[in-house]
């Protein structure tokens, strides 16, 4: 249940249109619904402003379907991350309304309109085409959180003029999320250009010494641009949530 639905229910009780017992029945799943294999946090939207998200990796299709149906029953939109294509096909059989992004490995079911969050878009900056899976996970998460996105794609430091040519984007955006692999230098460049928050996301893209993203992670953590904050390797979802938290407090 989200704040709007709770307010609607309480106002209905106040008007006498909904009885107390019916309201109690509708609220009985707060703060969570016990499915046996999962405790679905139907209270999260009230606490954090957005519903629980399903991490698909490691779960069976049946478990994902059960959790998704419970969230939908509570009137909440559904976002599933790290969902492979084969499992997505199984889930869609049970939930035909499921929309799947193979690149980002995300799936969504939209039950209710998504209210906009923030007055300006987030700049989603990526170094190369190989970073797109992380970028798409981030973009889809931002969309489901109601955050508008303006993309700057394939603007890595090997051709930094591509970024400098479009630096005006940062004048109309609120937060910059910067996704890069290899040596992870791009967030430092962006951090030196903008005044607002910069969230860096290292990816596992790169040759052997890149160590599956550890080199990019270390580079971003060691950034000479003051105030750049860093998410975990390949965690586009976490970067999107961090940006949403900033916007929820400051717009």
Both tokens of 148, joined, read 């508008």
CATH tag for 122-250 (out of 3.40.50.970, 3.40.50.2300, 3.40.50.300, 3.40.50.1970) = 3.40.50.1970
Q: Are 81 and 137 in contact (CB under 8 A)?
A: yes
pLDDT at site 73? 86
Report CA torsion sign: 70, 76, 77, 80. negative
The helix, strand and coil proportions of the chain, stated in percent and rounded to the nearest 5, come to 45, 15, 40
pLDDT at site 27? 66
Q: Domain residues of the chain, as ranges?
A: 3-109, 122-250
Buried b (16+ CB within 10 A) or exposed e, 97-113: ebebbeebbbbbbeeee
pLDDT at site 34? 66
pLDDT at site 49? 74
Backbone angles phi, psi at 225, to 5 degrees: -85, 115
Buried b (16+ CB within 10 A) or exposed e, 190-208: bbeebeebbbbbbbbbbee
Give mean pLDDT in consecutive 10-residue pieces for the chain, a chain of 251 residues: 71 85 69 71 72 91 94 89 96 96 96 90 96 98 96 93 92 96 96 95 96 97 95 97 91 58
pLDDT at site 28? 61
């Amino acid at each position: 249940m989200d704040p709007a639905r709770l307010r609607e229910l309480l106002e209905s009780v106040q008007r006498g249109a909904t009885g107390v017992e019916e309201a109690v029945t509708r609220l009985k799943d707060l703060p969570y619904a016990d499915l046996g294999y999962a405790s679905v946090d139907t209270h999260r939207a009230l606490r954090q402003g957005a519903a629980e998200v399903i991490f698909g990796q490691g779960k069976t299709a049946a478990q994902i379907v059960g959790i998704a149906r419970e969230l939908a029953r509570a009137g909440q939109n559904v976002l599933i991350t790290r969902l492979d294509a084969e499992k997505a096909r199984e889930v869609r059989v049970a939930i035909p309304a499921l929309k799947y992004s193979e690149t980002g490995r995300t799936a969504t079911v939209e039950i209710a309109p998504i209210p906009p969050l923030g007055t300006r878009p987030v700049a989603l900056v990526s170094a190369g085409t190989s970073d797109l899976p992380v970028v798409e996970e981030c973009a889809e998460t931002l969309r489901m959180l109601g955050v508008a996105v303006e993309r700057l794609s394939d603007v890595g430091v090997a051709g930094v003029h591509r970024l400098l040519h479009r630096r005006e984007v940062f004048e109309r955006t609120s937060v910059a999320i910067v996704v890069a692999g290899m040596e992870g230098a791009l967030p430092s460049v962006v951090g030196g250009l903008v005044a607002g928050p910069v969230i860096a996301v290292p990816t596992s893209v790169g040759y052997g010494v890149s160590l599956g993203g550890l080199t990019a992670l270390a580079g971003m953590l060691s950034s000479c641009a003051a105030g750049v904050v860093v998410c975990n390797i390949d965690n586009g979802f976490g970067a999107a949530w961090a940006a949403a938290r900033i916007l929820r407090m400051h717009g």
